[in-house]
Structure 1
Amino acid sequence: MPNNNSIEASTPADTAKFVPNSSIKIATFNLYNYIEPPFAFYDFEKILSAEQWQKKQNWISDYLSEFTPDVIGFQEVFSPVPLNKLVQEQGYPYFYVVDEAEVVDDFICKSPVVAIASKYNITEIAAVQPDEALAKAIGLNADFSFSRKVLRATIDLPHIGLCDCYVVHFKSKRPLIEHEQNIELSPEKNIIEKLKAQVIGGWGSSVQRGSEAALLFAEMICQREQSGRPMILLGDFNNTLQDGVLTHLLTNTLRFASAFDVNAYLEKYCLSDAWDLYQSTDNDTEHISRKPTHYYGATESVLDYILLSCEFDANFQGSLFEVSNYDTYDRHLINPIFERDGESTDHGVVLVTLSLRN
């Protein structure tokens, strides 16, 4: 498995400085086990054929050609090298990962990583590290780590300048503890043990996911304080924002602080859901409902998000951009055609358009 913790095409560093664009498109894209054969994901039977691989490549290329996002955060990347080549061919000279998938048994891979591609110059790249003291303060081990490394890219965007973009793939809802059927136990005892594992293991996943979000937001606040740069957080959250596990990402109030202090400073450090910002604009959006980004049996949910700092909020007096469009690409989920969508993804692709305010 190639080691490509930092992949970038050579291009002039000032490419984006003179781009007159009045809008910027940002996307989050879960690629669903993006892995080049002959590598397999999770077990030896899960290897794409050459035909399947090419079909997947074509599907991704077709989306990028049609919707032309300027910055894309990817999740579930096992093979960064072919992805880098694909996005370069689509006009993205900047591409990075900050981790690599784990390889077991020579060709079986696990632990996919996140990546970022941009048409605009990425001036800095880093893997975000959680604060050990804060982790310990909430009862976690001091060496707590994200289940998947979080990528922070500083991008030189038109008009707004340097902006910190964070790409995440928070812990899934898969229970941390699982009970294997034990023939030595009675049927009732097996059910009891399975129930206990599901309850405790599911809560363990929620604790991990919620802790990841909280500790990441704390690091974003610190980075914002030091740099003053706008912030974008995007990715597969593996949870709805309305769930209490992740609601702190949208914190916009502060207890035990004077109204003056809150009004003067808090807005600077808060994030807003791009969907909410789109709904709050003057666009005719009242009749539009938010599309799910994932389906599991009969359950549908929004798991993929783009959160923005106040520089992209039309209600903020000092903002330069506003969210002028919000699109969830889901044709492959609700009306799939095998010849076209057979090797696509199990997530909708979320794309927001940020337009320069008049």
Structure 2
Amino acid sequence: MSDNNNIEASIPVDSSKLVPNSSIKIATFNLFNYLEPPFAFYDFEKILSSEQWQKKQNWIIDYLVEFKPDVIGFQEVFSPEPLKQLVQEQGYPYFHVVDQAEVVDDFICKSPVVAIASKYEITEISAVQPNKELAQVMGLNAEFSFSRKVLRATIDLPHIGPCDCYVVHFKSKRPLIEHEQCSEMLAEKNIIEKLKAQVIGGWGSSIQRGSEAALLFVEMISQREQSTRPIMLLGDFNNTLQDGVLTHLITDKLRFASAFDVNAYLEKYCLNDAWDLFQNTDNDTQHISRKPTHYYGATGSVLDYILLSCEFDANYQGSLFEVSGYDTYDRHLINPIFERDGESTDHGVVLVTLSLRV
């Protein structure tokens, strides 16, 4: 009898069968010009037909049904009401935006916004405001603002309680200024002016994007200090984290600070790339390479990220969850089928699975 008991005791127990809601799925999803006809995005000719619109709706539904994320940060939302209805029909009773697209000439839309959908209760919602004084210290205009309003939602997650989830869409790499080809200029002069515009315009976009990230992170730290709530940052960063423009989002070192104090406090205010946390778990993941989330020509890069605070880091003593899964849905990018993917998105969809540590 005792031998049988020992054998049974050695069998691993699946905690998900014993503890309800022991895993949570978080996604960031760039919808690529989500706009209901008869409105047009950016140009009067860019209007989806009814058939194209339904195809796009179905593509989003198919993803939600297959992967079943619990919380989703959306980017490029022009039409929030149809999106709200879509996600509610798929089991997401909580949906919010903090801004609206700009409409010109009655039907042409610019400046899409971010949104959030959740199966769990959203108890607070707000738009993050950059610190104007710090913006001026950085040499920016006193009226500096995020190119797209940043959404902060406090979500009541299972086992962990209130968590602050931020959804972003940082400034794109599109140059702030561009040179239009001039037929009256010599060919060399046109090239010179294009080069100047690319250098200055591109760096101007980098300044905006990097400043947005820095000022947002400062606000996240302040909010964390006040509330002590865990943090998630979801979004289209329009940049790789390894680029110096955004590396401060995942900084984990301080210069000229007491080592004792750094070890005691710093980790609580740092963010971690979910991919790195996934790689650091006990899963056999070292042979897996990270998939790009966007392609420019044949060149792929990771632009879409989920960053997490220490409560989701398995190496942190007080963590409640760990990153047990990381998926980049990219079938429509690398092997598109028109009938299926014709109105999908130009980004991969990043999904992170968080599992309760028991």
Letter of the 1:214 partner, please give it: A
| 1:105 paired residue number | 105
SS in 1 for 2:354: strand
2:279 is the alignment partner of 1:274: no
2:80 is the alignment partner of 1:80: yes
Letter of the 2:199 partner, please give it: V
| 1:296 paired residue number | 296
2:185 is the alignment partner of 1:195: no
Quote the Cα distance in structure 2 between the aligned partners of 1:167 and 1:327: 19
SS in 2 for 1:179: coil
Quote the Cα distance in structure 2 between the aligned partners of 1:153 and 1:200: 36
2:170 is the alignment partner of 1:180: no
Quote the Cα distance in structure 1 between the aligned partners of 2:253 and 2:188: 48
Letter of the 1:82 partner, please give it: P
SS in 2 for 1:81: helix
Output the aligned Cα RMSD.
0.7
Quote the Cα distance in structure 2 between the aligned partners of 1:89 and 1:65: 11
| 2:158 paired residue number | 158
Q: What is the CA deviation profile of residues 19-38 of structure 1, one whole-angstrom value per residue up to 9, with x for unaligned ones?
A: 93001000000000000000
**Pairs within 5 Å for 1:186-225:** 186-225=186-225
Quote the Cα distance in structure 1 between the aligned partners of 2:148 and 2:343: 24
Quote the Cα distance in structure 1 between the aligned partners of 2:45 and 2:211: 34
2:328 is the alignment partner of 1:328: yes
Letter of the 1:72 partner, please give it: I
2:178 is the alignment partner of 1:146: no
| 2:246 paired residue number | 246
| 2:47 paired residue number | 47
Deviation at 1:142, TM superposition (A): 1.4
| 1:29 paired residue number | 29
Gaps spanning 5+ residues in structure 2: where? 1-18
Q: What is the CA deviation profile of residues 131-160 of structure 1, one whole-angstrom value per residue up to 9, with x for unaligned ones?
A: 011100010011110000000000000000
| 2:117 paired residue number | 117
Deviation at 1:185, TM superposition (A): 1.9
SS in 2 for 1:268: helix
SS in 1 for 2:57: helix
SS in 1 for 2:305: strand
Letter of the 1:227 partner, please give it: S
2:263 is the alignment partner of 1:263: yes
Identity %: 87
Quote the Cα distance in structure 2 between the aligned partners of 1:343 and 1:306: 24
2:227 is the alignment partner of 1:227: yes
Deviation at 1:184, TM superposition (A): 2.4
Q: What is the CA deviation profile of residues 179-220 of structure 1, one whole-angstrom value per residue up to 9, with x for unaligned ones?
A: 111222222111111110011000000000000000000000
Deviation at 1:121, TM superposition (A): 0.4
Quote the Cα distance in structure 1 between the aligned partners of 2:199 and 2:298: 21
Quote the Cα distance in structure 1 between the aligned partners of 2:270 and 2:219: 13
Quote the Cα distance in structure 2 between the aligned partners of 1:21 and 1:250: 28
Letter of the 1:105 partner, please give it: D
SS in 2 for 1:289: coil
SS in 1 for 2:195: helix
SS in 1 for 2:64: helix
Q: What is the CA deviation profile of residues 270-326 of structure 1, one whole-angstrom value per residue up to 9, with x for unaligned ones?
A: 000000000000001011100000011021100000000000000000000000000
Letter of the 2:329 partner, please give it: Y
Quote the Cα distance in structure 2 between the aligned partners of 1:299 and 1:292: 9
Letter of the 1:283 partner, please give it: N
**Pairs within 5 Å for 1:340-351:** 340-351=340-351
SS in 1 for 2:212: helix
Quote the Cα distance in structure 2 between the aligned partners of 1:142 and 1:45: 37
| 1:167 paired residue number | 167
Worse-superposed segment, 181-190 or 118-127? 181-190
Quote the Cα distance in structure 1 between the aligned partners of 2:60 and 2:151: 21
Give the greater-gyration-radius structure (CA): 2
| 1:9 paired residue number | none
| 1:305 paired residue number | 305
Q: TM-score scaled by structure 2? A: 0.94
Quote the Cα distance in structure 2 between the aligned partners of 1:203 and 1:341: 34
| 2:12 paired residue number | none
Q: TM-score scaled by structure 1? A: 0.94
Gaps spanning 5+ residues in structure 1: where? 1-18
